[in-house]
Copies of this chain bind each other. A is one copy, B any other.
Amino acid sequence: MTYVLEILGDKWSFLIIRDMLFRGCCRYKHFIESDEGVATNILANRLKKLTQHGLITQCKDPENGRQKLYHLTDKGLDLIPSILQLVKWSGHHDPHSVLSEKIMHYLDDRFDEAVDIVKQQYLQACDHEQVSAECHPFN
């Protein structure tokens, strides 16, 4: 477990992965525009670190050379169960949680299915390179 904490042992790394999964973030400016407000230097640092550890990849946007695209690797996608468990815990214990009962039941009763759904939706969103302005229901 020390291994995962070396890589993700700070809140920004987790939030970057969450934003990729649940909001379809795949460009620098998407992350910058995200709610929590990362500093640009921290974001660059974390994207580099996550890339070095093989959780995400970087490539030039073939349609716009001044943009880069960030995507989760299989190793990164493998974090979905961990992240959904954290989402679930937050949903149960955060007094200000905004998760619907429906979603919570889903996470409680059909966890593995939820993992698949998140993964499939992410892969689809990557294909269409769509970024949703509003959040994914699991966020």
- Residues of A at the B interface (CB closer than 8 Å) are 1-6, 9-11, 14-15, 18, 36, 75, 78-79, 81-83, 85-90, 92-94, 96-97, 139
6 contacts between A and B (CB under 8 A): A1-B15, A3-B96, A5-B86, A78-B93, A82-B82, A82-B85
Q: Is the CB of B14 within 8 A of A97?
A: no
A129 to B92, CA, bound (A): 29
The answer on a CB contact under 8 Å between A83 and B36 is no
- Tell me the bound Cα distance from A22 to B28 in angstroms: 39
Cα of A139 to Cα of B78 in the assembled complex, Å: 19
Report yes or no: B9 in contact with A11, Cβ–Cβ below 8 A: yes
Measured in the bound complex, the distance between the Cα atoms of B94 and A5 in whole Å is 11
Instruction: Say whether, besides A82-B82, A85-B81, A75 and B93 are in contact (CB < 8 Å).
Output: yes
A83: which of B1, B83, B97 is its contact (CB, 8 Å)? B1
* CB of A74, distance to nearest CB on chain B (Å): 10
A132 CB, min distance to chain B CBs, angstroms: 17
Pairwise interchain contact A1-B139, C-beta atoms closer than 8 A: yes
A5 lies within 8 A of B14 (CB): yes
For residue A5, which residue of chain B has the nearest CB?
B11
In the complex, A20 Cα to B139 Cα: how many Å? Answer: 29
